Structure 1
Amino acid sequence: MADANTDPRDLKTDLWKKMSTSPFVMVGPADGSTHSEPLTAQLDEDQVDTLFFFIGKDNRVAGKDKLMLQFVSKGHDYFACLSGRGQIANDRAQIDKLWNNQVEAWFPGGKEDPNLALLRVDIDSAELWETDMSLGGKLKMLFGGTIRSDEAGSHAKVGTTAENSPA
């Protein structure tokens, strides 16, 4: 995230790269009716504005339309808050594309497990923060002190980059 003039597609691509190394996301209903829970995002590089999650049909977010998702990178230097529309989309081709050994560990019945549901979340908007602080800024944060804005990192707000929606 260089600055406010960065292309939203570049920001989303950067987010997806970071999520690919640590795809754990807190997901909950946007209305706050229940707590968020950790889910593992299944990333489809062909759909940069969509996240997929294999969940149980009885999962607390299975029937929720509006969702809020929070992501923190492995190095704790990148943060994202995403909002989107959720729906169960048990498309067999998409399930086959995203299926892996980790998913199978949660669903002993495999792709035919009667409790299996594929949650599709179409991202409507995102706020992204990246802390790319200088060594001096990191020391101030560690030991206390005032951090100047040029030491703090960057922040961006991004709408969807889906081709059928305005960016």
Structure 2
Amino acid sequence: MQVDQQHDTEIREDMWKAMAKSPFVMIGLVGSHDHSEPMTAQLDPDANSEFWFYCNKDNRIAKGGEAMAQFVSKGHDLFACIHGTLTEETRPEIFDKYWSNQVEAWFEGGKNDPNVMMLRFDLKDAEIWEGDQSLSGKFKMLTGQTIKPSEAGSHAEVAL
């Protein structure tokens, strides 16, 4: 494995770990004039190229298509812009697998609400940034000193 590929793999794994701790993203359809909106991603540690969302059939992303999701980690030390495709998830076993009390709270009719649907986000690529959390990096930010690009943290463009 080349050094760059190893670096990109590590950043990608860091993104998945951060999303597992705080699975909230802003998501919108590419080419739409609708604003992105916050959604909770349903993650599966064994499915590293897809995640899911429950939504209403009249939601602005319900029609699916090419989409972008933005993610900021809980500690604000990892940022990602994730590109992919939203498709209606029709497999009942997947729909049931991620259903929970937290999900049910959003749908008046619960799991059998005629307006509820599930979308699958198939990832294509992402741009991921990891911030410098070192003491010197924080000190430079607090004191207004210039941070050199080599001190700014890690960055990767990864195919997913």
Q: In structure 1, give the amino acid aligned to 2:154.
A: S
| Separation in structure 2 between the aligned mates of residue 8 and residue 112 of structure 1, nearest angstrom | 41
State the distance in 2 between where 1:146 and 1:114 align: 55
Q: Which amino acid aligns with 2:78?
A: Y
Q: Residue 96 of structure 1 corresponds to which residue in structure 2?
A: 96
1:126 touches 1:158 (CA, 8 Å); kept in 2? yes
Question: Paired residue for 1:130?
Answer: 130
User: Which stretch of structure 1 is more off in the superposition, 43-52 or 120-129?
Assistant: 43-52
Deviation of 1:108 after TM superposition, in Å, equals 2.9
Q: By how many angstroms is 1:8 displaced?
A: 5.1
How big is the shift at 1:9? 5.0
**Does 1:24 find its partner at 2:3?**
no
The structure-2 alpha-carbon separation of the partners of 1:96 and 1:127, relative to structure 1 and needing over 3 Å to count, comes to same
| Residue pair 1:95, 1:111 contacting (<8 A) in 2 also | no
Inter-CA distance 110–66: structure 2 relative to 1 (3 Å threshold): same
The Cα offsets for residues 9-62 of structure 1, whole Å up to 9 and x where unpaired, read as 544332221111111100001114211000000001221110100111100011
Q: So what's the TM-score if we normalise by structure 2?
A: 0.91
Distance 1:120 1:61, change over 3 A: same
Amino acid at match of 2:22: S
Compare 34-43 and 148-157 and name the one that shifted more. Answer: 148-157
Q: Do the aligned residues in 2 keep the contact of 1:22 with 1:74 (CA within 8 Å)?
A: yes
In 2, are the aligned partners of 1:133 and 1:151 still within 8 Å (CA)? no
Partner of 2:67: 67
Runs of 4+ with deviation above 4 angstroms:
7-10
- Alpha carbons 1:39, 1:53 under 8 Å: kept: yes
C-alpha distance in 2, partners of 1:77/1:93? 35
Partners of 1:13 and 1:116 in 2: CA distance = 31
Q: How does 1:51-90 map to 2 (within 5 A)?
A: 51-90=51-90
Structure 1 residues 12 and 97, CA, compared in 2 at 3 Å: closer, same or farther?
farther
Supply the RMSD in Å over aligned alpha carbons: 1.6
Question: How many matched pairs?
Answer: 158
Aligned partners of 1:117 and 1:41: how far apart in 2? 14
**What TM-score, normalized to structure 1?**
0.87
Alpha carbons 1:8, 1:159 under 8 Å: kept: no
Structure 1 alignment gaps of length 5 or more? 161-167
Aligned to 1:164: none
After TM superposition, the structure 1 stretch with the greater mean CA deviation from structure 2, 76-85 or 147-156, is 147-156
- Aligned mates of 1:91, 1:111 — CA distance in 2: 14
Match of residue 114 from structure 1: 114
